[in-house]
Structure 1
Amino acid sequence: MSNEMASDAGTSLLALLAYQNLRVAQSLLRPEEGPTDLGELLPVARIAAEALTRFTHACDAIAGGQTAAQAAMVPITSPVDEFWSMTRPRNLGEQRLRVMVVANLELELVQRVIEHVPEIAGETLEPAAALWRVIDLGSQGVVRAIEQADGPDEMSLYARRLLGESAVMSQRLVVRQPALRVALTGESDDNLSASTAVLDEVLAAVAARVGQLGLSV
């Protein structure tokens, strides 16, 4: 893999995870989906602020400054926005599950691709405590929602929808972004077979984490 391919792969991955963290922060701060009690709102706001910090750090790690970061995100926004639109939550429990799934997608993805991107990108993408706090917040919210609903059936349906839309989003991204295929596999992977195999691993790992909450996926 050439230095240019590695650099492009790093930029594409940084742009994707930056934009996803922005969407996580926006979701956590939506008043119609989040808590209204100040005692609950403060820790959620802190976690949202950490997601925004991860967004800005990823953007700052893209060579060329703000203009380059915005350009790198342009081909990514449509598949990501469609995922967030198609999985719009109906309640706080579903909101928590969605951000938990997105954070786990990031965690599983980074663990598999970090060796294929330049060091500066890898250092920025390295999973941090903030990512685990999103996962913990989401997990706690899901468990609470299941208890209040006297069962996991409704949440399980939503979880399956989230995982299905995650698969659709992932496929759209690798089709549109050759650099993401390099990030996933270390090669161009023109026929998408190796990229699809990595994505299948990522989604299976995320599904297993969701299943640990008592949901049927």
Structure 2
Amino acid sequence: MGTSSADTARYDRFVADLFGVMAYGELSAFERLSSDARYSPTLHDRAVIGRIAVIEFEHYELVSAKLAEMGVDVENAMLPFQSAVDHFHERTRPADWYESLMKAYVVDTVSADFYRAVARFVDPGTRELIQQIQSSEEATGVLRERLKGALADDPRLASRLALWGRRLLGEAVTQAQRVGHEHAFLGALFVEAEPGATDATARELMRGITAEVADNHSRRMVQLGLSG
């Protein structure tokens, strides 16, 4: 990583963008889960989804606090990514409770995979925050077990949820590519972190991350008893 003031300022801008998209992702997840909880089939399920929503908001607060430490207004950091994230959620409105569960699970796990991959290319402090947010298995485990229970109770859900999971993955990858193209901050991070790297190298790294995310998703679907 460069040591000039220009290099430092550029890298700080990359990190602020990264935290901006993370913050809005966590905030929108909180809003979405809070709304979806209303359609829970039982009060227990409503409480479970409500707890997961709280976890998402706690993550938002962690990222927001980090941005504040950097002297960056969290709203200004999030605004450039609001349209892309909102577009993703508009295109992936669940039809019922079960699709809501699957969406929460896929978004949670795919975003975690993506940010863990990005963490390889950033400074230790930024990596630590990413790991702190993405290392929690509480929400992931609850969603996974609830999906397993739903599929055991009604095996007819399998084909529909498998298809829905594939669509969610495709939409998530498309969103990541759109954000990367519009803002180019991930490519810049890769080039900055890898001495001698070029834009072509960055694109290749992004393809590798996308393939890794897709492989992980397929494996998780198989563990649920669904085709990846």
1:180 maps to 186
Choose which of 60, 71, 88 in structure 2 pairs with 1:64: 71
Count how many residue pairs are aligned between Structure 1 and Structure 2: 215
Task: Specify whether residues 155 and 41 from structure 1 end up closer, same or farther in structure 2 by C-alpha distance, changes over 3 A only.
Answer: same
What is the TM-score when the length of structure 2 is the normalising length? Answer: 0.82
Task: Specify whether residues 129 and 10 from structure 1 end up closer, same or farther in structure 2 by C-alpha distance, changes over 3 A only.
Answer: closer
2:223 maps to 212
Choose which of 146, 167, 170 in structure 1 pairs with 2:151: 146
State the distance in 2 between where 1:87 and 1:99 align.
11
2:28 maps to 23
SS for the counterpart of 1:216 is coil
SS for the counterpart of 2:161 is helix
Confirm whether residue 116 of structure 1 aligns to residue 150 of structure 2.
no
- Would the aligned equivalents of 1:97 and 1:141 in 2 still touch at CA under 8 Å? no
- Would the aligned equivalents of 1:96 and 1:138 in 2 still touch at CA under 8 Å? yes
- CA distances 1:9-51 after superposition (whole Å, capped 9, x unpaired): 3222212222111222122211576426433333322221111
- CA drift of 1:150 comes to 2.2
2:199 maps to 190
Same amino acid, percent of matched pairs:
22
State the distance in 1 between where 2:90 and 2:170 align.
13
1:164 maps to 170
The one-letter code sitting in structure 2 at the alignment partner of 1:180 is L
- CA distances 1:150-172 after superposition (whole Å, capped 9, x unpaired): 23111111011111111111110
Query: Bigger radius of gyration, 1 or 2?
Result: 2
State the distance in 1 between where 2:188 and 2:220 align.
26
1:101 maps to 106
Q: Looking at both structures, which has the greater relative contact order when contacts are Cα pairs under 8 Å and sequence separation is at least 6? A: 1
When you count helix as a share of all residues, which structure comes out higher? 2
Confirm whether residue 84 of structure 1 aligns to residue 93 of structure 2.
no
Task: Specify whether residues 30 and 72 from structure 1 end up closer, same or farther in structure 2 by C-alpha distance, changes over 3 A only.
Answer: same
SS for the counterpart of 1:81 is helix
State the distance in 2 between where 1:189 and 1:38 align.
53
The one-letter code sitting in structure 1 at the alignment partner of 2:17 is S
SS for the counterpart of 1:60 is helix
What is the TM-score when the length of structure 1 is the normalising length? Answer: 0.86
- CA drift of 1:6 comes to 3.2
Task: Specify whether residues 64 and 102 from structure 1 end up closer, same or farther in structure 2 by C-alpha distance, changes over 3 A only.
Answer: same
